[in-house]
Each structure stands twice: as C-alpha cells, then as structure tokens.
Amino acid sequence: MSVLVLGGTGYIGSHAVYQLIDQDEKVIVIDNLETGHLEAIHPNATFYQGDIRDIDFLRKVFKAEPIHSVLHFAANSLVGESMENPLKYFDNNVHGTQVLLKAMTEYGVKKIVFSSTAATYGEPKQVPITEEMPTLPTSTYGETKLTMEKLMKWCGIAHGIRYVSLRYFNVAGARETAEIGEDHQPESHLIPIVLQTALNQREHVTIFGSDYNTDDGTCIRDYIHVEDLIAAHLLALDYLNNNGSSDIFNLGSSKGFSVKQIVETARKVTGNEIPVKYGPRRPGDPSVLIASSDKAREILGWIPERTHITKIVEDAWRWHSTHPLGYRTEGTS
Ligand code: UFG
C-alpha cells in the first residue's frame, strides 16, 4: 500500500516524501509543478504530473495505485498574493480539495493529513494560541485553509473520511543532508531572505516595522524546523491508522523570536554582516504569533527535537550556501 503526497515537489511536501521513504513507505507524488521543483522529488517516489482540480487525472492515479492515505500539501500559500487574487486561492485551494475529496470518496480512501496554517486564527487575542481559540482569518489564504478544513469535516460526517489538520506556525530549516530545501520564486519568507543577504544576493534585509508592541519593536514568530513538522505528519498518519478520530493540532515550538533576533542568529551562524534597513509594516502582519503545541505533544506524542533557532538557521544555511540558486543551475531561470 502507498501514501499519496499531493504537492510533493514543494518545500514542505518534498521533506515529507523524503521522511516517508526513510521509513520504507511506498510514496506516490502528485504535483502540477506550478511552484514545485522536479529536482525535489525523491528518486524512489512514483511521480504523476497533474492538477488536483482535474478529476479524470485523479481517478487515473487512484485507479492505478494502491493508496491507503493522503498527505495534502497542494495549495497556493502566499498571504500577500491571496489578497490580490482571492479567486486564484479559492479555485486552487478550496476547489482543488473538493475534487480531491470526491476522488477519495469514489475510491474508498478515508484518511488524510492536511497542511493547515496559523493564518486560520488571524490576529490572536492572546498567545500562546490553542486550538480552541476563535478562527477569524485576516487573509484570503487563511480563509481558504479554514474552508478546506470544513470541507474535510463535512465529508467526514457524510462519507467517513477521517482527517488530521495540522496548523503550521513559521516553518523553516532544511533536511540536514541539504539535498532538499526552501526555494520559492519569488522568495517572501524571512529566513531565506536573511540568508540570501548573507550570500550577497541581496543588498540588505528590509525589516517590516520596528514600532510593534514587542521588546525590540519587531514582529515575533514561532519558528519550527521542517523536519520536526514532518515528523508530526508521520505521527498523524499513525494516529489515523490506529483509528484516531478527526482532529486539529497546532505545530510550533511554543517560543517566539523577533525579526531582529533572527537576523542576529543568522549573523552568528554565517559569520557575515547581513545589513538591514527598516521599512513600514507589512499589511496583515500580526505582531506576535506563538503556538501552544501541547495538544500535539499529548495526543500524537510529538517531540520536536530539532526546533532550536540556531539549529533551524544552521540547517537552512547549509542548504542555501550549497545551493545558492536553489534548484536552478547556472544559466537557467
Ligand atoms: N519579514 C521582514 N522582512 C522580510 C520578510 C519577512 O521583516 O523581508 C518579517 C514579517 O513581517 C514577519 C516575519 O518576518 O513578521 C516572518 O515573515 P514570513 O513572511 O517569513 O512569515 P509569516 O509569519 O508572514 O507567514 C507565515 C507562513 C504563512 C502563514 C503565516 C501565518 O509563511 O504561510 O505565517 O500568519 F500564513
């Protein structure tokens, strides 16, 4: 039997494929390669290129492969873009999940681990954020992920699909061996931008806002190592395989670091200067996002072992410094 990984050529999905194969699982990858990378596919995975909104394509894969469960990473995930182009997000994220659930129902596949986000909470009234807190997304992206969770819930009631939704905080780092890592075009996430500046690919990092109500005036986020994040997905699969009921879990470290602290850590790890400039706040950025991950620890038995900020930046640096152009090679765009 195989695990189907949707979006398995992206940053987080590719790390899932590698860990599943480390654990001797048979892995089927689906990706439309719109934002993912062919080079990120593990050589032992079976790859189908196609779009999850295409029901005939999905039927072909579900018919050909003995799929017992699904890990769903296939989505657009840029908060800013989602505000400019909401319909793109509803189409790819929500409609795509609707089609996927239809195919799962037709082929009797009843277990899904889902990639959700802290953006479902919006601006929290207090931190750390627990799973019971209100979900009031402040972006289209967060709204689509919340809607995808609701689709799974109602398909669970009607068709017996069981899901685990994992609400990620700030995912960073890379596989320790640096075969795969983070490569977004264009890049908008803090740690890759800071490390690209350390590589002199950017003149400076612009810090978005220095007047937040935090100790140093910059935003605080909860960073989680991508390998720990994926370990939680594998535990979630075990949980579903052991008849666990549908549930939602936060994944974070329960610790917050400011933008300035991230730059400082990267200066120490890389030994480079990393110039910064201060710019205005980025619209929609909450000042502090910190997870309570007690529920994942208690119910899934999750212990994030690599989630220390220096380790996260070191592993990200190993990837960026050995792949300064990401998956591209000289001369390609
Ligand atoms: N930041 C800068 N300069 C940059 C880039 C980021 O100062 O060039 C700051 C941001 O303002 C923010 C922090 O660094 O305070 C982290 O920003 P990221 O873009 O790396 O991450 P976000 O916290 O904005 O986004 C993450 C996930 C999203 C998710 C969101 C939930 O990447 O998928 O958390 O709010 F939706």
> pLDDT digit string (tens) for 144-189?
999 999 999 999 999 999 999 999 999 999 999 999 999 999 999 9
Q: Count H helices, E strands: the chain?
A: 11, 13
Interatomic CA distance for residues 90 and 75, integer angstroms: 10
CA 221 to ligand 1 center in whole angstroms: 8
Report which ligand 1 atom has the smallest distance to the Cα of 286: 35
Decide: residue 328, CB within 10 A, 0-12 exposed, 13-18 middle, 19+ buried: middle
pLDDT number for residue 143 = 98
Residue 89 falls in the annotated catalytic set: no
Half-sphere exposure of 288 (CA within 13 A, CB side): 18
Report which ligand 1 atom has the smallest distance to the Cα of 289: 35
Cis peptide leading into residue 283 (ω within 30°):
no
296 lines ligand 1 (CB under 6 A): no
Q: How far is CA 316 from CA 2, 104, 124, 151, 175, in A?
A: 30, 35, 28, 34, 8
Strands 26-31 and 2-6, sheet pairing: parallel
Provide the terminal-to-terminal Cα distance of the chain, rounded to the nearest Å: 38
CA 189 to ligand 1 center in whole angstroms: 6
Which residues, 6 or more positions from 41, have their beta carbon under 8 angstroms from its beta carbon? 8, 9, 14, 17, 29, 31, 47
What are the DSSP calls for 27-92, one per residue? EEEEE--SSS-GGGS-TTSEEEE--TT-HHHHHHHHHHS-EEEEEE--S---HHHHHH-HHHHIII
Q: How far is CA 118 from CA 66, 78, 98, 138, in A?
A: 33, 13, 21, 11
pLDDT number for residue 330 = 57
Instruction: List the one residue out of 217, 213, 219, 224 whose CA is nearest residue 292.
Output: 224
Interatomic CA distance for residues 63 and 75, integer angstroms: 23
What is the average pLDDT across 203-212? 98
Interatomic CA distance for residues 180 and 11, integer angstroms: 8
Band (pLDDT 50/70/90 cuts) for residue 17 is very high
Residue 204 has φ and ψ, to the nearest 5°, of -160, 165
DSSP state of 108: T
- What is the SS3 assignment for 262? helix
Which one of 141, 163, 212, 239 is the catalytic residue? 141
73 lines ligand 1 (CB under 6 A): no
Q: 66 pLDDT exceeds 80?
A: yes
220 lines ligand 1 (CB under 6 A): no
For residue 47 the two structure tokens come to: 């790859």
Report yes or no: 231 and 302 within 8 Å, Cβ to Cβ. Answer: yes
- DSSP-assigned beta bridge partners for residue 117: 168
pLDDT in tens, 151-162: 999 999 999 999
Q: 72 pLDDT exceeds 50?
A: yes
Interatomic CA distance for residues 272 and 218, integer angstroms: 21
Q: 332 pLDDT exceeds 80?
A: no
Q: pTM of the prediction?
A: 0.97
SS3 content of the chain, % helix, strand, coil (to 5): 40, 20, 40
193 lines ligand 1 (CB under 6 A): yes
pLDDT number for residue 116 = 98
pLDDT in tens, 250-285: 999 999 999 999 999 999 999 999 999 999 999 878
- What is the SS3 assignment for 204? coil
76 lines ligand 1 (CB under 6 A): no
Which H helix or E strand runs over 293? none
Half-sphere exposure of 124 (CA within 13 A, CB side): 21
